[in-house]
Structure 1
């Protein structure tokens, strides 16, 4: 191996501790560096580290994040792309005793060890060490121990850190012998192959550091271990030290303490020249960085996929089994055997067979077969719906031949990427299917995919402001000035300052805001924590750790990969998407309710697609609870469109997105008047016929590129990706290629320009047709159930919202609009979920009371089923011997009205301690006595419970409790006494939020639910309040000048009328107050 500096050559001598050269300067490789994947301990992004090495002429670079391999694949690929040799390593935490010892004050890890992979064996051992340090050794930090190090030592280079190595700790405590013993142990472990080095660093800014390094050098030479120069990197530039200190404070939830008198420690990415200056007297330590770089020759085989080991009958093959399954499925789905069907099936099978994907299809088909057998409702999204094989094998739910869905958008012979089938599952049963996978393939072969929560613009600002010790209001004020990005394109702070004058002004005029924004930009986009991908699961043919590192989900006991979805795929494991979807849970629940109540079987896969009641309901804008169609903007378009076919719904699902939304008016106009349909070229008619000549789907763009511009399917797919990324250079190249192809096909320049403009507007946000059809059909199913079985569907919808009082409140409002009454919770009448009481009435479920657990709810329901209705409060307490009935849960039962049949709320609340004491007496009584007591209680009441007199709870208080615990008012409404005034209002809050022009003055009236006063930068008082009427609620903003005259009106519980203007910011609607008065 040769490293070149200028015209001089440094040659490597095998088995030598240093390198001879004729230069005064020595090449150097950073072997101890950290990226932002050392979560909240370092700040460089992987690309920034690689760019710094490249700019300095370094030929190799190591990544050694703390206790993990999160960034390994990204680092490897980025280095390769930039001509840098990647060295993958880990900065390990070492357990003081064993990894199994976890005693406070004894086993927190203090010692570190850097290991680098020399080859694939070493890389696999890093994976094992990292995985076991998390799964077996985690205690404050993921820890390895000597047993693990001995077991997984092959293929690794060890660097013993200068500050946190075991020997360094011993020397600081004056124990020279123990330091020598430690070094000798590592020498015996790794030194036989010349793979053990003692790190030396140079930090002249740290008092005493030079002396400590001299001690380390002395003991290393005594033991016979070579030295290696390093500079532990946690940030790029020395001026980034404050930002790095800041992320550490964010990690520990502390506040930054600035010491202006001391020089900050420097852990920046030093150049080779700077390193040479620091190590001028120790050239061998520099040369050994090159020696180590030469030893590390890891070559990863990325992009070669492996599939789960699906069982295949002896004498058969995955291809034969898939074809047989598809042919059986076509018969079961009553699809006629025609030349078109045979040709399509054979073509798809040829592509699947050629690419070796048959086993993947068999695995997915088996998963969804199991789901159907267990009654788990599923839907498959994405381009997979364009496959007839997928439909025939039960993977997808729409026939691609009926919707003209192209297979090539899913798989084509030219595209190298693997298949990706996204499975939507009823969210309340998703874990059942993942458990099935574990049982079928083995626990050690299955893991959910990890992901990283990142500090995007708003979050970074809030984190930085808090860690700097600023009041919450400053960070909140700055964050709210940053607009939300568009879907898939999060906005940066730099772009936000260009787009938002108020933010730019705050940066210019406020020193605190400027510091927050400057520091936030240094950490913006960095990983903050590890999480679990919403859907992704990997299934390996052998242990997952044969391919990727794993750990526990920090918030649960689930096993997750340390690699994100992109790195997992690069490492060879395909992602299986199990996405929980609430709407599927609602549909499944509604279907069961219809069966139980009406003895009617609803086949959701064979619904009539021409149901008049469904389309009429959508045309009236009654879309609450309908999948994909319930937003105010979509609802307005549906009312204008008056949909009459499933194609209309599919088109609206695809068009209601940024970009394509511009084509909605044309779609509506052409549907109403077919004479307006025009095609820029007659060859576009077969592509756009069902959408009235409007480009609706990504597939439309791809087919236009193929049929009009002469693209291959692979070129068309690259065209789609280039349009989505919006990179100017790529866009310009594609435009020229598209134009040339169209000209060659005799399309006029004017038509080409108009067509390009349409595609350019559309392409970045367009849905593929298969995805829109899958979602459109699911939307139709939810609309059909609401239109035809309204009370069952709404009860299921309320049940799905359990625990979310805001959503329940919205759904209850819709029920009342539909003429469905909602009864309050009752310990004698309610079950856990919402239940249908009769054809026009739904009873509130106990599970949906806020602050009330399901365990105590189940105990109440079981007691009622066993011995009948509760007679009085004493009877209730005697029959619920459940320790979960604590003060909080009993208080929730009383305040929500669930005990109204057994006692008045005010009286029960005043006596709550007496009630709990009475219940505890029953719990502690001997079983025979308690049983006898309970029997007499059930028969004649309990005479020993005496409640003190207390006033009844006033109506205002009851309403407040109901809103807080149930999300709705039951006993009445705070505005009941002002109904006449409200009836004279031009429009209610809900209508105003959806339709009233922004910026025009209007009046709203309502009830003040909450207030949040704050102080401005000048110390004046302003406030945010939430005002509600019978239809909805809205946040109102009252600035200081308004509060001077009207401040007394804004109190929780008051009924007021305010004049002002609706305002939209970042998708949130608020109301800015000019004047206010009491109702």
Structure 2
């Protein structure tokens, strides 16, 4: 039995202060044989759901509380101007700490209100409450006076006994016998006045003492790890981690014996911990009711309740979706409706259907579906999804399982530029106080924590990278430090290291790994409640944002019966919308994207060629190669590839393709499997297939089969054994032998981990098909929409510009005489919008438009432009940006000349406009032939070289537009580069590369050995990569490191998790690359272009350019089969003339240089 209980504990939910996890706290309490333990994080209840769950599982009574911040005097609404001496630096804290513990459900509800109001009304550096709130929400709460920064102790520490006693009396008056004076002893000198004063106040006022430890970590040796966390909270990480900020290493979770001994002079204070624990009830339970918002039923409806109303709306939608309604459809529809009603979810469906229909009424593009909801006919009938479940054999039970009651999960995609409007609609309909977004916590992963701790310990970045680069990820999750050290051979040296720096790094990193770094707003999650959200869960505003969020995360909210859903902003939908608008403008064609039929020939040709840059979910280079092999012909094909192309199942792609094209036989353990797996050629690709096998083979209901699928995914061995016995028993009853049944079970168990949600794969493949359709039929408009929406991503823009060039779509520079804000399409050509230019804002563009419209024609000169626009809006910097970007090329192509004359043009414009203002209202008006108004001549200046023009263009736009410096070396780039710099996101391990590109952003630095090293960017046609060249090689290649130089960089591409960097080991000028690396020439000829006439011409070209280089000809059949011919008797001299002649005959990509 406990003799002491800890009542003052901080976890990592006391952000950047507590250095222990909730589960670690509970484990320690259990090890020390404590029957109860409290959670008291700073001002928040973030950790309550996790704390309650782990405590109950461990058989420990959870005491839910918080250490509140309470204003020292005055009101929570006060914002004292003298609270600070500088940004974020407090001269004196005008708040104190106060421990509040919930005795019962009422007390918990009041804690929720107090914590919420601290953020909503009292936030000023901290979420503060005041005595007014405390008086209002005191019921059901035990209050203790907290630490040395507490309401009573702070005055005692300052020697003000009288004030301390007055404060204690105030709290005694509020809480009566539920107020305790807290005493702590961390062996700190400043605590002595408190230890002396508290017993005296307690005796004089009849208030009991309670002994606590201000626990911030679990073990005493964690003090330095905790201090590192505090240093990291300063952002800089500067300071000696051994100099403990809190001045003690005693704020750890001590054992009962330690605490009893510590307070041997105050046994009654130890006894009070048990008294308080006995006052606490276990009051939180699993949700008993679902809290839906109030949903009005229109007067026009005959429905008497929400179930009837849902049925009424769904039936109306069903008749529209299925004009020829069959009994099979009707039966499934009725079954789904019954399940929804019996589970009490009618309200959920009505809310979702309402805001989706509201979005469509406002012409906000909504995705066809997302996740398992696409498997519901009711959702399809209501317009929640736009995927016919029957057409794609989708299962309702994967979405809503009658055998396992849990909240439905309907996530909805909206065009990302208008998602906020849908949330505003919901707030307006149900009440702003009833709708809020959801919190999420960003945690310290193994890689991140190693980097952070290393920064505090001042360990060189090169050492850090030598560790983090070998920490792998699996299924999108980074390995823990422990797992990586045990399983990765390259990290054995770290595990075995005796180096004090490395030992300390790993020790402290392990303590802090997985802890919360900060809180933020979830990207999509929204809560809708029947009344103020704080009636159900606490609220906060992380990082003092204006946006209010719940204090519990997405997964935890369901336990409280709160309606939550994802409102996702999908940029692809905005791109679709912008493409459709451009098509309407340029072709006067209205496209309803939801009515595009599957099977379009041009669209599937695009997929088969792998030309899927910009096509949703099918953009990556490896995916494009798979598409060339797959040659999809339907959305079902796309869905299968979408499901397979992810970590794990990716290993089955080649097997899938071999079976599809008959290169491997398709075999089934039993004929029943044929119907289920026919679509995926005998391979289990989808979770729905696992459910169907369990249903058809194992005789389980679809609901039971879904439970089996979940058990397999969680690898619950006990449940798996039960499910296997049930499966085999059902199979035997279906006349399938036990041996075959066992074999089938093992097979589905193997694939259950990899199986993907088919409903989601289909829904997202429909979006992929829609984007591919638009790209195939309206290529310029589609690429312009992508350029507009991806303009903030340099790599993507570079990629789309290169895509334009390959597809023979001209990209025109910005133009003052065609002043669009965003990318536009002119007769099949894409025009850069003026907003792409540095220092050119929307106001300036609108002024240029206005002036040109008023003029009634194009601007003819720089002087005319400046004399018409308001130069206060279109200022000097704006004008220079326009010139450098080529926006004045339609007026004068000599950009250097125009830039040289900017000052005189602006002066002329000012004089012209001043003269015009003075004379417009005069009797005679103004005379444009007045000599003072005549345009001066441009002061002569030579134009820049092409390379300087491109460099300056890139400076103001961020990209090369009119050309690319690397273009003249395109053959070498294509032949020798084994990496595209804008497509490195799939790189996870160190990789040796040859990369060709343009150098810029060069920055040299002196290393610790007083040697020069270099940092620079390398740009190619697809994007850029940051590069580093260490001092050991810099001196050798320094002469080649020049801005705008075209070079080949040989080195290692390394991923640090967040970014990829190229460690340059060698630099070769592109002018020398062809001679150094070419082994022989390869000419690729497509069978379609292979005819006697072209072969005759090729032979003439070869004879005309005879030399010493070997030639190989490769004939391609249908993109796959290749026949190679070595021209033994014919060698050539490699010249640009020869290359141009062959390319003219067989295409730009027919000539390749094969590297040595």
TM-score (norm 1): 0.89
Contact 1:958-1:971 at 8 Å conserved across structures: no
Structure 2 match to 1:18: none
Partner SS for 1:1077: strand
Shift of 1:600: 1.3
Partner residue, 2:1044 = 1053
CA–CA separation in structure 1 for the residues paired with 2:943 and 2:864: 21
- What is aligned with 2:774? 785
Kept in 1: contact 2:401–2:706 (CA 8 A):
no
Q: 1:895 to 1:41 in 2, by over 3 A?
A: farther
Q: Among residues 222, 226, 249, which one is paired with 1:240 in the alignment?
A: 222
Higher mean C-alpha displacement, 354-363 vs 173-182: 173-182
The yes-or-no answer on 1:349 pairing with 2:305 is no
Q: Is the 8 A contact 1:1063 1:1070 kept in 2?
A: yes
1:95 to 58, 63, 71: 71
Structure 1 distance, partners of 2:980, 2:235, is 40
Does structure 1 retain, via aligned residues, the 8 Å contact 2:524–2:567? yes
Per-residue deviation, 1:599: 1.6
**Pairing partner for 1:139 from 107, 110, 124:** 124
> For the structure 1 residues 277 and 877, does the alpha-carbon distance in structure 2 shift closer, same or farther, using more than 3 Å as the test?
farther
Q: CA deviation at 1:216?
A: 2.2
Q: Partners in 1 of 2:654 and 2:513 — Cα distance?
A: 39
Cα offset, 1:577, TM superposition: 1.1
Flag the structure with larger Rg. Answer: 2
Report the CA distance between 1:321 and its aligned residue: 1.2
1:815/1:197 Cα in 2 relative to 1: closer, same or farther (>3 Å)?
A: same
Task: Go from structure 1 to structure 2 and tell me whether the alpha carbon gap of 1:58 and 1:859 turns closer, same or farther (over 3 Å shift).
Answer: farther
Corresponding residue of 2:388: 399
Q: Distance in 1 between matches of 2:872 and 2:204?
A: 66
Contact 1:449 1:562 in 2 (8 A): yes
- How far apart are the structure 2 equivalents of 1:676 and 1:844? 52
Q: Deviations over 1:164-201 (max 9, x none)?
A: 1232222233222211111111111111xx21111001
Deviates more, 1:981-990 or 1:28-37: 981-990
Q: CA offsets per residue over residues 814-868 of structure 1, 9 Å max, x none?
A: 11111111111233313111111112x0111233335654454444445444555
Could you tell me which runs of 5 or more consecutive residues in structure 1 were left unpaired when the two chains were aligned.
6-26
Residues 1003 and 576 of structure 1: CA distance in aligned 2, closer, same or farther (over 3 Å): closer
Aligned partners of 1:124 and 1:930: how far apart in 2? 74
Cα deviation for residue 562 of structure 1 reads 1.2
1:31 aligned partner: 7
- In structure 2, relative to structure 1, the CA distance for the partners of 1:964 and 1:316 (3 Å cut) is farther
Which of 162, 166, 187 is 1:181 aligned to? 166
Q: Separation in 1 of the partners of 2:738 and 2:1041?
A: 63
How much does 1:669 deviate?
Answer: 2.1
Name which of 203, 206, 222 aligns with 2:204.
Answer: 222
The answer to whether the 8 A contact 1:803-1:850 is kept is: no
Residue 1032 to residue 119, structure 1, CA distance change in 2 (3 Å): closer
How far did 1:694 drift? 1.9
Change (3 A) 1:384 1:270: same
Distance in 2 separating the partners of 1:818 and 1:1042: 40
- Shift in Å, 1:873: 4.6
Distance (whole Å) between structure 2 residues aligned to residue 154 and residue 938 of structure 1? 84
Conserved? CA contact 2:182–2:212, under 8 Å: yes
The residue that corresponds to 2:712 in the other structure is: 723
Q: Tell me, what secondary structure is at the counterpart of 2:384?
A: coil
> Could you tell me which residue of structure 2 aligns to residue 569 of structure 1?
558
Aligned to 1:9: none
Alpha carbons 2:97, 2:147 under 8 Å: kept? no
User: Does structure 1 retain, via aligned residues, the 8 Å contact 2:997–2:1046?
Assistant: yes
Q: What displacement does 1:69 show?
A: 1.0
Give the 3-state SS of the residue equivalent to 1:1008 in structure 2: strand
Relative distance call for 1:749 and 1:366 in structure 2 (3 A) is same
Rounded to whole Å, the distance in 1 between the matches of 2:474 and 2:753 is: 14
Equivalent of residue 17 in structure 2, options 10, 28, 41: 41
**Structure 2: unaligned runs, 5 residues or longer:** 85-92, 1072-1156
In 2, the alpha carbon distance for the partners of 1:703 and 1:1056 equals 56
Answer yes or no: is 1:458 the counterpart of 2:447: yes
The 2-side partners of 1:423 and 1:132 are apart by 31
Superposed, which structure 2 residues align to 1:550-629 within 5 Å? Answer: 550-554=539-543, 556-629=545-618
How many Å separate the matches in 2 of 1:662 and 1:1015?
A: 46
Query: Where does residue 12 of structure 1 map in the other structure?
Result: none
**Any conservation in 2 of the 1:29–1:61 contact (CA below 8 Å)?**
yes
Alignment check: 8 A CA contact 1:651 1:691 kept: yes
Moved more, 1069-1078 or 425-434: 1069-1078
Aligned-pair CA distance for 1:937: 12
2:284 match: 300
Structure 1: distance between partners of 2:977 and 2:794: 28
1:290 — aligned with what?
Answer: 274
When residues 329 and 728 of structure 1 are mapped into structure 2, their CA distance, relative to the original with a 3 A threshold, is same
Q: Distance in 2 between matches of 1:930 and 1:552?
A: 58
Equivalent position to 1:772, from 761, 767, 770 = 761
Partners of 1:122 and 1:946 in 2: CA distance = 83
Q: Identify if the C-alpha distance between structure 1 residues 195 and 814 changes in structure 2 by more than 3 Å, giving closer, same or farther.
A: same
Question: What is the CA distance between 1:749 and its match in structure 2?
Answer: 6.6
- Residue 371 of structure 1 corresponds to 359
Cα RMSD (Å) of the superposition? 3.6
- Name the residue aligned to 1:412: 401
Instruction: Supply the distance in 1 between the matched residues of 2:69 and 2:1050 (Cα, whole angstroms).
Output: 62
| Distance verdict in 2 for CA 1:661–1:328, change over 3 Å | same
Which residue is equivalent to 2:634? Answer: 645
CA distance in 2, matches of 1:875, 1:472: 56
Whether the aligned pair in 2 keeps the contact of 1:115 and 1:157 (CA below 8 Å) is yes
Go from structure 1 to structure 2 and tell me whether the alpha carbon gap of 1:674 and 1:373 turns closer, same or farther (over 3 Å shift): farther
Range moving further from structure 2, 1019-1028 or 224-233: 1019-1028
The CA deviation string for residues 83-139 of structure 1, in whole angstroms up to 9 with x for no partner, is: 111111111111233111112334854411111111111111111111111111111
Residues 531-563 of structure 1: per-residue CA shift (max 9 Å, x gap): 111211011011111111112353742221111
Q: Give the match for residue 818 of structure 2.
A: 829
1:200 has 2:183 as partner: yes
1:171 and 2:156 matched: yes
Number of the residue aligned with 1:62? 38
Q: 1:1015 to 1:75 in 2, by over 3 A?
A: farther
Q: 1:873 to 1:718 in 2, by over 3 A?
A: same
Matched with 1:13 is none
Distance 2:919 2:62 in 1: 72
Is the 1:37–1:70 contact (alpha carbons within 8 Å) kept by the matching residues of 2?
yes
DSSP 3-state at the match of 1:579: strand
| C-alpha distance 197-931 of structure 1, shift in aligned 2 (>3 A) | farther
Is 1:277 the counterpart of 2:261? The answer is: yes
Q: TM-score, normalised by structure 2?
A: 0.84
C-alpha displacement of 1:1069 = 7.5
Q: Quick one: distance in 2 between partners of 1:778 and 1:842? A: 24
Report the CA distance shift for 1:861/1:470 in structure 2 as closer, same or farther (over 3 A): farther
Contact 2:474 2:647 in 1 (8 A): no
CA distance in 2 between counterparts of 1:630 and 1:401 reads 29
1:880 Cα shift?
A: 5.5
- Asked if 1:963 corresponds to 2:957, the answer is no
The answer (yes or no) to whether the contact 1:93–1:109 under 8 Å persists in 2 is no
User: Are the structure 2 counterparts of residues 549 and 872 from structure 1 closer, same or farther at C-alpha, using a change threshold of 3 Å?
Assistant: farther
The 10-residue stretch of structure 1 (822-831 or 650-659) with the greater mean CA deviation from structure 2: 822-831
**How many angstroms does 1:988 deviate by?**
8.0
Correspondent of 1:799 among 775, 788, 791: 788
Decide which moves more: 674-683 or 790-799: 674-683
Separation (CA, whole Å) in 2 of partners of 1:939 and 1:360:
74
1:78 to 54, 57, 68: 54
Structure 2 residue corresponding to 1:268, chosen from 234, 249, 252? 252
d(CA) in 1 for partners of 2:505, 2:1009: 19
Q: Is the 8 A contact 2:109 2:535 kept in 1?
A: yes
- Counterpart for residue 10 of structure 1: none
* Structure 1 CA distance for aligned equivalents of residues 920 and 191 of structure 2: 75
Measure, in 2, the Cα distance between the counterparts of 1:606 and 1:1051. 54
**1:808–1:966 contact (8 Å) kept in structure 2:** no
1:492 matched to 2:480: yes
Question: Secondary structure in 2 aligned to 1:39?
Answer: coil
**Given that residues 795 and 1022 in structure 2 are in contact (C-alpha distance below 8 angstroms), is that contact kept between their aligned partners in structure 1?**
no
In 2, are the aligned partners of 1:118 and 1:157 still within 8 Å (CA)?
yes
Q: Which moved more, 1:495-504 or 1:585-594?
A: 495-504
Deviation at 1:981, TM superposition (A): 5.7
**Does structure 2 retain, via aligned residues, the 8 Å contact 1:162–1:198?**
no
